[in-house]
């Protein structure tokens, strides 16, 4: 996904989660979790972005990720604004807790 794609996605969708990482040990579990949650969180759009792609400046330069030193950088947007960002591996429970808090909606997950 390019920076322009991400800008388009957050302008067209109320709730967006973006995982910016590599195909590595700390990132793969988070990609897997997002993939599994997609069906239960239909009101959220899930995207991924290559950390090593220069286009990822749009994530890496966010003030909310300042100080992050562990991939993936996972960023949650609501109404085009960053509402939460996490660094490094997360569990499914941690991701669900953020989705439920920031993008509240009735889910059966």
Partner 1 sequence: MLNKMNAVNHYDAIVVGAGPAGLTAGIYLSRARYKTLIIDEGVAGGQMVLTHEIANYPGVESISGYQLSNIMKKQAKSFGCDIKTNVSVSGLDLNGEVKELVLKEGSVYSANAIILTPGGRSRTLGVTGEDSLKGRGISYCATCDGDFFTDKEIIVVGGGNSALEEAVSLTKYASKVTIIHQFDHFQAFEYAVEESKSNNKINFIMESTITAFYGNENLESVDIKNLVSGEIRNFKTDGAFIFIGYVPNTEFLKGKIELNKWGEIMVKSDMSTNIEGVYAAGDSTAKRFRQITTAVGDGTIAALATSGYLNELNIKQKQNSLA
Residue 33 interacting with partner 1 (CB under 8 A):
yes
Residue 28 interacting with partner 1 (CB under 8 A):
yes
Residue closer to partner 1, measured from CB, 13 or 74:
74
Residue closer to partner 1, measured from CB, 7 or 100:
100
What CA–CA distance (Å, rounded) separates 31 from 22?
10
Tell how strand 45-50 and strand 15-21 pair up: parallel
Q: Structure tokens of 67?
A: 């100080």
**Residue from the set 41, 47, 68, 76 that interacts with partner 1 by CB under 8 A:** 68
Cβ-in-10-Å burial (0-12, 13-18, 19+) of 84 comes to middle
Residues that bind partner 1 (CB under 8 A): 22-29, 32-33, 36, 66-71, 86-88, 92, 109
């Amino acid at each position: 996904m390019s920076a322009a794609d991400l800008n388009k996605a957050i302008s067209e969708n109320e709730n967006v989660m973006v995982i910016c990482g590599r195909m590595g040990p700390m990132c793969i579990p988070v990609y897997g979790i997002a993939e599994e949650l997609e069906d239960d969180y239909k009101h959220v759009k899930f995207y991924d972005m290559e950390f090593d792609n220069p286009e990822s400046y749009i994530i890496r330069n966010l003030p909310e990720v300042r100080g992050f030193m562990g991939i993936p950088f996972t960023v949650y947007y609501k109404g085009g604004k960053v509402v939460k960002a996490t660094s490094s591996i997360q569990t499914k429970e941690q991701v669900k807790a953020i989705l439920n808090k920031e993008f509240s909606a009735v889910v059966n997950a």
